[in-house]
Amino acid sequence: QQKEEVTVTFIRANGERITTKGKVGDHLLDVVVNNNIDLDGFGACEGTLTCSTCHLIFKKEDFDRLPEKAGDEELDMLDLAYDLTDTSRLGCQITLTKNLDGLEVKVPATINDARS
Ligand code: FES
């Protein structure tokens, strides 16, 4: 059975838009890795919630419809991210659903690897 595709656009701090596709059930980190999207240092801990380099900024309406709310571990890690906003999440913790098709996320200008 073929999984449904979800279109996702990453917007760099300089305004450059990178539109790509992920599959339902993928994490946003998987979308970056699987499509070889060149985001320097992104996803350094490979989704183990120890780096905060996968910090992404969502539009309010998207943030509100994300399938899962951030857990305590994610919130602790977000506290270490630069440019934290009210609609920030960690990309390795966001699972794509069909409902998120057309999602646009901003990539912060600076990433912070909490491990260093
Ligand atoms: Fe490290 Fe998400 S990839 S916290």
Assign 2 a pLDDT band (cuts: 50, 70, 90): low
Q: Where are the alpha helices (DSSP H) in the chain?
A: 28-34, 60-64, 72-78
> Measured between alpha carbons, how far is 77 from 90 in angstroms, rounded to an integer?
8
Distance 113 CA to ligand 1 centre (A): 9
* Predicted pLDDT of residue 96: 97
Instruction: Reduce the DSSP state of residue 95 to 3 states and report it.
Output: strand
What's residue 114's pLDDT? Answer: 82
Question: What is the reported pTM?
Answer: 0.93
Q: Ligand 1 pocket: which of 45, 56, 78, 94 to mutate (most atoms <8 Å of CB)? A: 45
Indicate the pLDDT class of residue 1, thresholds 50, 70 and 90: low
Its ipTM equals 0.99
Of 25, 37, 45, whose CA–CA distance to 99 is shortest? 25
> CB of 94 closer than 6 A to ligand 1?
no
Give the neighbor-by-neighbor strand order of the sheet with 5-11.
17-23, 5-11, 103-106, 55-58, 88-90
Instruction: Tell me the pLDDT tens digit for each residue of 30-43.
Output: 999 999 999 989 99
